[in-house]
Chain A
């Protein structure tokens, strides 16, 4: 065959850059998303190398130097209500705060995507059953649900993670279901079906690649919500317990000092704000980079 000799010809095939390399290329040209990513990376590094970066022991306090203002010699960000170094506590706090922010979203991504894709692809009664069950959880405001679950399970990091994971499964399952339902109706799925492919093969080759991206983008947007909820749980005494440094908890314990040292008391909130907005901006950038039509 002529085409056979053509394909054996030494001239190489033109290969278009793959979808993801295009996404990365577009992302790299987005200054806001890149800056947000830089902030996130800095936070992660800070959490990982906290013992090397922190100037003081975050647990040791001296009551004689309580609530020093920002700029005190030896304590650049002041001290908290027990005289512990704020800078060190904020650096160590990144560990628990990021853990509480990111882990539930990843766990929920796994289960939510599984539920949503199954419901969307199978459709019919399975869809109704799964999605109405999810709706029951969705009916509660996420804050209330997290508080109720944590309250029932008892305070602690693990229970906090568990309740936050459960809180995020419904919204992710919703998005996964609607994206999958949209993809399932497209003609390339029909064409694959016409070629005799099994449902598992169709899901693996044609569905996952087209739905995981949008679901992932949505999930990254939830990281900021998770951070805030986790901080909220700690603030209410349902998440991390003192004396662990965690931004939400620090915000809680410093709230009495708001009239004495307002700037110091606001620092943990500032960290939460910066982290969550960075995740949000990065997720926005990822969304537009993944849009082929733009």
Chain B
């Protein structure tokens, strides 16, 4: 293990109760995040991938404490949230950039006011905050003299996302969570923003949590990758391990669904069919067994825990790799 991680999440659980019955009675529980643990080392980028509804965004909101977990602990710099470090302090050190660049900016505030809002709330004088906002605009590649007085609807999506990044940086955070932050942008603009993010990371020594459904972008940006399926971690490991030797059948299926420039690598058959099962009543045992081509009897019965594989920090939750699991394909490549 890496000594003393910057950030650590242990056994995070977040269930959303579905209301709708009479008098607020519950119609069921969405297990959005179920027992998720991971560490972040200082200066690394952790990519989180998975299908829609797998709990990526819920995990992001748990990291920045926008929602509090039902169970599990969050530690930042060795300090336990709620005990040694307050939520307010944690939020200052962990900032987030959202997917929708328009919805994440108040249409009535100029860019300068949008960026200066956070620092002002935390006690910075308006003049200082305005100066900081100008510095940050410059840092994300927007000429302050042209952009400070503008409103969100006057900017392009890429420019707005730069402002959102600037706003996240206003607190000099240690960690920035990027929740599908570039997904809504044009490819060319996306590349520019990704380069900006890479530059900022090198300049400021940031740690990123990079959430995306675009596997190519995640590979480009990340040091390590966490694959999520229905609120659980399916596999986590270095980007090389995950992309060249995926251990979980789900990871393998996701990767084979990646569009390839190489005609020899193109496949005709769909690697995965159907939608993920409903997270209200996830399948028993391994949650992936309903769609897994290697599914065996044990998969439907026993939930596999994360198991360490050879290779730095490579872990997988699959019976194929767990010794003594009686899986028929035990030891066979996924």
Contact = CB atoms under 8 A, between A and B. Distances in A.
A192 interface: yes
A13 B149 contact: yes
A73 interface: no
Contacts of B122: 195-196
A191 B167 contact: yes
Given A187-B98, A191-B96, A196 B145 contact: no
Nearest to A191: B104
Contacts of A197: 117-118, 121
Nearest to B143: A6
B248 interface: no
Given A1-B135, A186-B103, A210-B107, A192 B146 contact: no
B203 interface: no
A135 to B, nearest CB: 16
Contacts of B105: 188
A195 B145 contact: no
Given A6-B144, A16-B151, A209-B108, A191 B135 contact: no
B262 interface: no
Contact of B145 (A6, A190, A209): A6
Nearest to A190: B66
Interface string A253-267: 000000000000000
B79 interface: no
Given A3-B144, A186-B103, A194 B108 contact: no
Interface in B143-158: 144-146, 148-151, 153-154
A288 B13 CA distance: 45
B230 interface: no
A258 to B, nearest CB: 52
Contacts of A193: 66
Nearest to A128: B24
B110 interface: yes
Interface in A197-221: 197-198, 201, 205-206, 209-210
Nearest to B114: A188
Interface stretch (B1-9, B87-95, B300-308, B319-327): B87-95
A194 B88 contact: no
B266 interface: no
Which of A19, A128, A191, A292 has the most CB atoms of chain B within a 10 A radius of its CB? A191
A72 interface: no
B50 to A, nearest CB: 21
Nearest to A205: B117
Chain A contact residues, majority secondary structure:
helix
A7 B144 contact: yes
Interface string A153-196: 00000000000000000000000000000000011101111111
A156 B149 CA distance: 52
A198 B87 CA distance: 13
Contact of A16 (B24, B110, B117, B135): B110
A3 B149 contact: no
A11 interface: yes
Interface in A1-21: 1-4, 6-7, 9, 11-16, 19
Contacts of B24: 128
Nearest to A2: B138
Nearest to A207: B106
B22 to A, nearest CB: 12
B131 interface: yes
Nearest to B150: A16
A292 B138 contact: no
Contact of A19 (B104, B117, B145, B151): B151
B121 A201 contact: yes
A101 B122 CA distance: 45
A14 B147 CA distance: 7
B121 A3 contact: no
Interface string B94-134: 01101110011111111000100110011000000001001
A260 to B, nearest CB: 57
A187 B104 contact: yes
Contacts of B95: 194
B121 A11 contact: no
Nearest to A124: B24
A7 B100 CA distance: 29
Contacts of B167: 191
B291 interface: no
Contacts of A293: 153
Nearest to A208: B108
Given A191-B167, A192-B117, A7 B149 contact: no
A187 B103 contact: yes
A194 B64 CA distance: 7
A292 B106 contact: no
B92 A7 contact: no
B153 A292 contact: yes
Contacts of A210: 106-108
B243 interface: no
B171 interface: yes
Contact of B134 (A7, A194, A195): A7
B329 to A, nearest CB: 43
A209 B105 CA distance: 13
Identify the 9 closest CB pairs spanning chains A and B, nearest first.
Answer: A195-B118, A15-B149, A187-B104, A3-B138, A209-B108, A187-B98, A197-B121, A3-B135, A187-B103
Interface of B: 24, 64, 66, 88, 91-92, 95-96, 98-100, 103-110, 114, 117-118, 121-122, 131, 134-135, 137-139, 144-146, 148-151, 153-154, 164, 167, 170-171
Given A6-B134, A13-B145, A191-B96, 12 more contacts: A14-B145, A187-B99, A187-B100, A188-B106, A190-B66, A192-B106, A192-B117, A194-B95, A206-B106, A210-B107, A210-B108, A293-B153
